[in-house]
Chain A
Amino acid sequence: MSADALELQRFAIKFFLRDPASVRPEEVLRLFHRWIQERRVEGILIDVADYAHVPDGPGVVLIGFEADYFLDSMEGPAGLLYNRKRPLEGALPARLRAALRAALDACARLEAEPEFEGAVRFRGDEALFIANDRLLAPNTEETFAVLRPSLEEAFGALWGGAARLEREGGDPRRRLAVRVRGDRPAEAAALRERLGA
């Protein structure tokens, strides 16, 4: 392992809901089907997978070709998890920013859905990054050290350059996960704006 982690293409970004009970799985199921109908988020949207019956599971998943959108309860508290599956262009910070834009677009869209009447809100001061490739990015301190500058650069754009990173858990079987905290919380739409086009 050296700079291999910088080749990372499979990774996930999650934003947490302020109130995990603000949205129910059956509502998200309907919503995700509508998002497919109306092509409301980027990428080729394929189907909706319903895992609401699985305790602490991935919930309801909007399956895409390039990425999946989860209303997830598996990786920490409930939130929207964007899981990138297909390669993106550019260096790692650029790829991370592209994924952040897609994730925040989906969060902002969820917040703006009229049926929720403003009840769905994301915590704008925290996110989770998961490296979803055990070959290129095993769960080690060394990998974290390699990834840190790219993560700080990409997430820093959300919070005025002040993103605090903390590696989560040391179980080598688990994927490398990094909790990212900012000190300039904002609504999802505002965070998205900070990233630019």
Chain B
Amino acid sequence: MTPTWKDKLAAEIPPALGLEIDQYETDLLLRRQGKIDEKVFMEARLRRGVYGQRYDSGQRHDGKKTQTLRYPSGDLTKGPGILWDHPGMQRIKIPYGGLNPRQLEVLADLAEEYSDGILHVTTRQDIQLHFVHIEDTPAIFRRLAAVGITTREACGNSVRNVTGCPLAGVCRDEAFDVTPYAKACSRFLLGHKDTQNFGRKFKIAFSGCAQHPCGLARMHDLGAVARIRDGRRGFELYVGGGLGPVPYQAKLFAEFVPEEELLPLAQAVSRIFGRLGEKKNRNTARLKFLVNKLGLEEFRRLVLEERRALPPDPAWTAFLGELEAAAEKPSKPAAPLNGQPRRPSFDAWFRTNVYRQRQPGYAAVTVTLPLGDFTSRQARALADLARAYTPGTLRLTVDQNILLRWVSDADLPALHAGLEDAGLGQPGAGTVVDVTACPGTDTCKLGISSSRGLAGVLRERLAARAASMDEAVRNLTIKVSGCFNSCGQHHVADLGFYGVSRKKGNYTVPHFQVLVGARRQENASAYGLALIAIPSKRIPEVVDRLAEAYLRQRAAGESFSGWVQRIGKSQVRALIEDLAEVPPYEADRSFYSDWHDPRTYTVSDMGVGECAGEVVTPLDFGLAAAEREAFEAQVALDKGDPVRAAETALRAMLRAARELVASQLPEVSEDPAEVVREFRARFYDTKLFFDPFVGGKFAQHLFQAVEEPAGTLAPDAARRRVEEAQLFIEAAHACRTRMAQAAGKGHA
């Protein structure tokens, strides 16, 4: 009888975990036989981190035509419209990014045997494997379970991976090591009955200090920042943060939550979220919307009331007795670096990739991973190096790198040589070269533009100039997302980009929105705002121009966000506005395909050369005008006039809506009531305006805005309205594209 991983690993897998995997495997079998509903199965697999991947509907545009992928299982699905045979993505939760060498080796094995040999580190300290066949997932889960890793609740409406500062325990500025707290929180909430009834995902982050951005605690549903008060450990607790299409800054729930209250309070928040959070409309189901709806005071009152009513649970504090035992200890004595032989490339690497730990004589070393990718061979080399030079612990970082901690200074040259031999010795960690990107159009179903393609190009170009760069530019951060959903965390970079598209004649052109003005410090204390959409192929010029202008104009010691604030977004936009121009298809076809993807976004079945007779419709002009107004709203916001910002944002949405209506009803007036009524009837009720993935969410922004006078809005609500206006206009562009396609006048 052919052996199985189930038999081989039976003694190494915790029984409860083994049972869960068995149940999942049964679901797999039942779905295969058509005995389980596809939606039910979809939830089952999502809760184990088994994702769909781009083209899983079985249709793929090859650059010339749409091809149908004819799989052996035919129409069998693993979710509505998702073909069974199409390989997918496997997300693997790594709580607080903590890994040991054995776990890393198993991940390497899985990447080779079931994926394409690549491990991808995400911006939430997960590992992802791509192109995985669903039949292989039970074996993957068992092999992971045998080394203490579960993929449970890596996706779905659940508590996602609990993230934490990778420097926890060695940071020079932390209040204390948050590692055991992040670990306890992750374990306590995993599969907890009070976290099974969410309408949407729930993200938690831990940070050891208030001032640095390693943990990004203030952009999470629940963010805990370590604090010491009167000699006692506790946390500054934030709630209701989140990025996504409309980012929300988390609100301060409590200035100090004693350590023993952390888990019960997290449980109480979970219960309130499960009970009162939105369930029907996924687009308003995150905690941030509940906090906003109830108001912080009422939300706090409900949570504290819930906390008082909770029956005591020993798990709340059991871990506190093990804090000392859990602390990492060095495997080698501290010894000075001086006099150790080193390679010529050592110094440059040392400057950017080595962090002096709080503990004298020890360093934390960042292993720079291009676009968060590393190979199975590199993973094994890293495991060996971690064993040789550290206590055997590694941390994945939110910047998609890996951190080795507790390296004795004397070992740095040897470690550097080992990394370099494995192809992992690149300098530039945390600098402008170290570009973050989500998977984007490479593998994600929601990707609009090639975030990885752009990030790769920027990385290459900037690396070539890194040595001669001014330090101010070298220290800028760049983050790229393939769409508005912020997986690349574009809101918290000096230069953020997210993918959008624009029509040019009969073609669709990949673009990126340019965001500036973010502050990463204080755990992501301010988010960037979109300036203007620029064709993908011109984004490198955007980076060059803004970097040069910043260098030329900055005051002594002025940060990039400070410079943006001082000169104003209008000035910043003026620096790059001309780059928004797209040449006609015949003049330069390179604009009509994306980075690292030679396929043309559009295929002209209406005859070559018709771009020469290109017509710019009134709708195109109208949407451009609406965009301008949306930008004006941002300027008003920057000038500290939230009321005018909100009014202008609403005007921008109304204009975009009116232009769409006018394409069907040319005589429509400017009267807002008529515009909204006609827009609702012609574009919302008919679902013509609906986004394929978020439905009518963007239209709701308009409907809500006309009901809420600008004067009644708090400043943060006004800011959100500005964001929403931009998204509404993007949706109008997308709608316009779909209309053109339906009329046979353009191509997706």
Cα–Cα distance between A72 and B383 once the two chains are bound (Å): 23
Verify A46–B64 contact, CB threshold 8 A: no
What's the nearest-Cβ distance from chain A to residue B737, in Å? 23
Q: How many residues on the B side are at the interface (Cβ–Cβ under 8 A)? A: 52
What's the nearest-Cβ distance from chain B to residue A138, in Å? 11
Residues of B within 8 A of A44 (CB): 69-71
A-B contact list, 30 entries, CB within 8 Å: A37-B62, A37-B63, A46-B69, A46-B86, A46-B131, A47-B60, A49-B118, A50-B596, A51-B373, A53-B370, A53-B371, A53-B459, A54-B370, A54-B375, A55-B424, A56-B423, A57-B117, A57-B118, A58-B116, A58-B117, A63-B87, A63-B116, A65-B71, A68-B116, A68-B131, A70-B117, A74-B376, A74-B377, A86-B133, A133-B113
Cα–Cα distance between A50 and B596 once the two chains are bound (Å): 8
The stretch that binds B, out of A28-36, A116-124, A148-156, is: A28-36
Cα–Cα distance between A33 and B64 once the two chains are bound (Å): 11
Verify B60–A46 contact, CB threshold 8 A: yes
What's the nearest-Cβ distance from chain B to residue A173, in Å? 6
Residues of A within 8 A of B118 (CB): 49, 51, 54, 57-58
Verify A56–B375 contact, CB threshold 8 A: yes
Q: In which size bucket is the chain A interface?
A: 35 or more
Residues of B within 8 A of A53 (CB): 370-371, 373, 456, 459-460
Q: Please tell me if B374 contacts chain A, counting CB pairs below 8 Å.
A: yes
- Binary per-residue interface labels of chain B (55-70) against chain A in the complex, 1 for a CB within 8 Å, 0 otherwise: 1000010111001011
- Binary per-residue interface labels of chain A (36-52) against chain B in the complex, 1 for a CB within 8 Å, 0 otherwise: 11000000101101111
The verdict on A47 contacting B596 (CB below 8 Å), with A54-B375, A63-B87 known, is no
The verdict on A74 contacting B117 (CB below 8 Å), with A46-B87, A53-B370 known, is yes
Nearest neighbor of B4 in chain A, beta-carbon distance = A135
Verify B130–A65 contact, CB threshold 8 A: no
Binding site for A on B (CB under 8 A): 2-5, 8, 54-55, 60, 62-64, 67, 69-71, 85-87, 105, 108-109, 112-113, 116-118, 130-131, 133, 370-371, 373-378, 380, 423-424, 426, 442-443, 452-453, 456, 459-460, 596-599
Q: Please tell me if A95 contacts chain B, counting CB pairs below 8 Å.
A: no
Cα–Cα distance between A96 and B2 once the two chains are bound (Å): 19
Q: Which of B4, B131, B443, B598 contacts A29 (CB 8 A)?
A: B598
Cα–Cα distance between A7 and B2 once the two chains are bound (Å): 8
What's the nearest-Cβ distance from chain A to residue B142, in Å? 11
Verify A29–B113 contact, CB threshold 8 A: no
The verdict on A61 contacting B62 (CB below 8 Å), with A4-B2, A44-B69 known, is no
What's the nearest-Cβ distance from chain A to residue B478, in Å? 15
Residues of B within 8 A of A55 (CB): 370, 423-424, 426
Residues of B within 8 A of A68 (CB): 116, 131
Verify B131–A49 contact, CB threshold 8 A: yes
Q: Please tell me if A132 contacts chain B, counting CB pairs below 8 Å.
A: yes
What's the nearest-Cβ distance from chain A to residue B376, in Å? 8
Most buried by A among B71, B105, B376, B460: B376
Given contacts A54-B370, A55-B424, A70-B116, 20 further A-B contacts (CB under 8 A): A29-B598, A33-B599, A37-B62, A44-B71, A46-B86, A46-B131, A50-B456, A51-B118, A53-B371, A53-B459, A54-B375, A58-B375, A61-B116, A65-B87, A68-B116, A70-B117, A74-B117, A135-B3, A135-B8, A173-B108
What's the nearest-Cβ distance from chain B to residue A139, in Å? 11
Verify B375–A30 contact, CB threshold 8 A: no
Cα–Cα distance between A136 and B1 once the two chains are bound (Å): 11
Residues of A within 8 A of B597 (CB): 33
Residues of A within 8 A of B426 (CB): 55
Residues of B within 8 A of A133 (CB): 113
Q: Which of A49, A65, A136, A173 contacts B116 (CB 8 A)?
A: A49
Verify A10–B55 contact, CB threshold 8 A: no
Cα–Cα distance between A88 and B87 once the two chains are bound (Å): 18
Most buried by A among B62, B112, B118, B597: B112
Residues of B within 8 A of A57 (CB): 117-118, 373, 375, 423
Cα–Cα distance between A21 and B599 once the two chains are bound (Å): 25
Residues of B within 8 A of A70 (CB): 116-117
Top-6 shortest CB links A-B: A55-B423, A53-B370, A37-B62, A30-B598, A56-B423, A58-B117
Verify A46–B55 contact, CB threshold 8 A: yes
Most buried by B among A29, A55, A63: A55
Residues of B within 8 A of A36 (CB): 60, 62, 67
Cα–Cα distance between A55 and B118 once the two chains are bound (Å): 12
Residues of B within 8 A of A109 (CB): none
Q: Please tell me if A175 contacts chain B, counting CB pairs below 8 Å.
A: yes
Cα–Cα distance between A24 and B384 once the two chains are bound (Å): 32
Verify A132–B113 contact, CB threshold 8 A: yes
What's the nearest-Cβ distance from chain B to residue A11, in Å? 11
Cα–Cα distance between A70 and B112 once the two chains are bound (Å): 13
Nearest neighbor of A61 in chain B, beta-carbon distance = B116
Verify B113–A10 contact, CB threshold 8 A: yes
Q: Which of A30, A33, A56, A173 contacts B380 (CB 8 A)?
A: A173
Q: Please tell me if A85 contacts chain B, counting CB pairs below 8 Å.
A: yes
Residues of B within 8 A of A135 (CB): 3-5, 8
Cα–Cα distance between A10 and B139 once the two chains are bound (Å): 14
Q: Which of A7, A30, A49, A74 contacts B130 (CB 8 A)?
A: A49
Nearest neighbor of A174 in chain B, beta-carbon distance = B380
Cα–Cα distance between A44 and B86 once the two chains are bound (Å): 10
Residues of B within 8 A of A47 (CB): 54-55, 60, 131
Most buried by A among B87, B109, B116, B459: B116
User: A residues 69-97 with Cβ under 8 Å of B?
Assistant: 70, 74, 85-86
What's the nearest-Cβ distance from chain B to residue A4, in Å? 6
Residues of B within 8 A of A173 (CB): 105, 108-109, 380
Cα–Cα distance between A47 and B423 once the two chains are bound (Å): 26
Q: Which of A4, A10, A65, A174 contacts B3 (CB 8 A)?
A: A4
Residues of B within 8 A of A175 (CB): 112
What's the nearest-Cβ distance from chain B to residue A89, in Å? 13
Q: Please tell me if A164 contacts chain B, counting CB pairs below 8 Å.
A: no
Cα–Cα distance between A74 and B379 once the two chains are bound (Å): 12
Q: Which of B4, B109, B377, B598 contacts A134 (CB 8 A)?
A: B109
Verify A54–B373 contact, CB threshold 8 A: yes
Most buried by B among A4, A7, A85, A134: A85
Cα–Cα distance between A76 and B222 once the two chains are bound (Å): 47
What's the nearest-Cβ distance from chain A to residue B426, in Å? 8
What's the nearest-Cβ distance from chain A to residue B600, in Å? 10
Residues of B within 8 A of A61 (CB): 116
Cα–Cα distance between A51 and B371 once the two chains are bound (Å): 10
Residues of A within 8 A of B70 (CB): 44
Verify A132–B112 contact, CB threshold 8 A: yes
Residues of A within 8 A of B85 (CB): 65
Nearest neighbor of A60 in chain B, beta-carbon distance = B596
Verify A74–B373 contact, CB threshold 8 A: no
Cα–Cα distance between A63 and B85 once the two chains are bound (Å): 13
What's the nearest-Cβ distance from chain A to residue B323, in Å? 34
Verify A50–B442 contact, CB threshold 8 A: yes
The verdict on A49 contacting B373 (CB below 8 Å), with A37-B63, A65-B85 known, is no
Cα–Cα distance between A184 and B477 once the two chains are bound (Å): 55
Cα–Cα distance between A75 and B748 once the two chains are bound (Å): 39
Verify A74–B375 contact, CB threshold 8 A: yes
